Amino acid sequence: MKFSAIQIAGMLNGTVEGNPEASITKLSKIEEGEPGSLSFLSNPLYTQYIYSTRASIVIVNKTFSAEHPVGSTLIRVDSADIAFAKLLEVYNQIKNDRKGISKLSSISSSATLGENVYVGDFAVIGENVTLGKNVKIHPQVFIGDNSAIGDNTILFPGVKIYSDNIIGKNCIFHAGTVIGSDGFRFNQQDGKNVKVPQIGNVIIGDDVEMGANCTIDRATFGSTIIRCGVKLDNLVHVAHNVEIGQNTVIAAATGIAGSTKVGKNCMISGHVSMTGHITIADGTILGGATGVSKSLTKPGQAYLGIPAMEVSKFRRSTVLFRNLPELAERISKLEKGQK
């Protein structure tokens, strides 16, 4: 789509400096700007590029003062960062605003679809499924029987929702994510691993986003619960009967074992592992590759290491660990001297 400088300024409550009819059809980095593209400048380290960029329009802060002639049309706003992010959101909405029901999809006659629902090629929607308004079901999505999906939720290609799960409004699940697969639970009987049936479900609140290839297991019985505002990166595994509190964010390749309770507003870095049946307090911060083997009960604390320890203690321990070879050598010399 094509937008003019005056149209963009109207969206952003900005002012145009230059040609108000300058038009763009794409976005670009300021150092890679081409004619017909829109860019922005907020970081002073990139100021040099505004004098050489070929971008047709550049969004800048109102406080920006040019020291040399600028060839691009400028749109001055209170915050170039926030304004550009707003434009990205508008662009994303336009790009993902698909409508219609593909003739190549399979939709049960007992399913209920809200207004303006999109269903792509080879999507399968099971019996007694309920889809809210403006739900986007991309190609090859599977939604199992008796599941419910709230308004404005987007399921990207290849998402699989098993039966009996509940998903809130304004959620985004990226390609390959699986909701409601069986929890990993077996009993030893006569030397064999005998599966324990998993008959619970998954409940996901509003405004939850999951990256590609996440896996959220159904509960053994009861529910695995992901509360409102939770954000998961790619390749996050949440096991059966786990609960994750509001607005917690979890980076890639993290695994949470069964029945663990994670508090609200936690920040969990990549490749963190948590054992089962523990509690993580509200506001906890876990650094990358931290291994949590017992409950962390102090709200707002930061942890690192395996096993997890408070950051200050971890740093002191790291210094000692790095010096272990020298200490071992000194001890060896002392022992030889005694002999």
| pLDDT tens figures, 178-191 | 999 999 999 999 99
Same domain (yes/no): 42, 111: no
Same domain (yes/no): 16, 49: yes
Q: Could you give the count of Cα atoms lying within 13 Å of 119 in the half-sphere of its Cβ?
A: 24
Same domain (yes/no): 138, 74: no
Partners of 215 in beta bridges: 178, 237
Please write the tens of the pLDDT for every residue from 224-272.
Answer: 999 999 999 999 999 999 999 999 999 999 999 999 999 999 999 999 9
Same domain (yes/no): 167, 305: yes
| Strand, helix or coil for residue 318 | helix
Please say whether the dihedral angle defined by the alpha carbons of residues 102, 103, 104 and 108, taken in this order, is positive or negative: positive
The amino acid sitting at 102 is: S
Query: Is residue 124 domain-resident?
Result: yes
Please write the tens of the pLDDT for every residue from 47-80.
Answer: 999 999 999 999 999 999 999 999 999 999 999 9
Q: Helices 311-322 and 324-338: crossing angle, nearest 10°?
A: 50
Mean pLDDT of the chain: 96
240 is known as an active-site residue = yes
Range of the domain at 144: 100-314
Helices and strands, number each (H, E), in the chain: 4, 40
In the prediction, which pLDDT does 55 show?
A: 97
Q: How far apart are CA 260 and CA 268, in angstroms?
A: 14
Tell me: pLDDT of 84 over 80: yes
- Determine which one of 237, 240, 271, 277 is catalytic: 240
Number of structural domains in the chain: 2
| Strand, helix or coil for residue 296 | strand
Same domain (yes/no): 17, 56: yes
Tell me: pLDDT of 331 over 90: no
pTM, entire model: 0.88
In the prediction, which pLDDT does 113 show?
A: 98
Q: How far apart are CA 171 and CA 39, in angstroms?
A: 29
Please write the tens of the pLDDT for every residue from 140-180.
Answer: 999 999 999 999 999 999 999 999 999 999 999 999 999 99
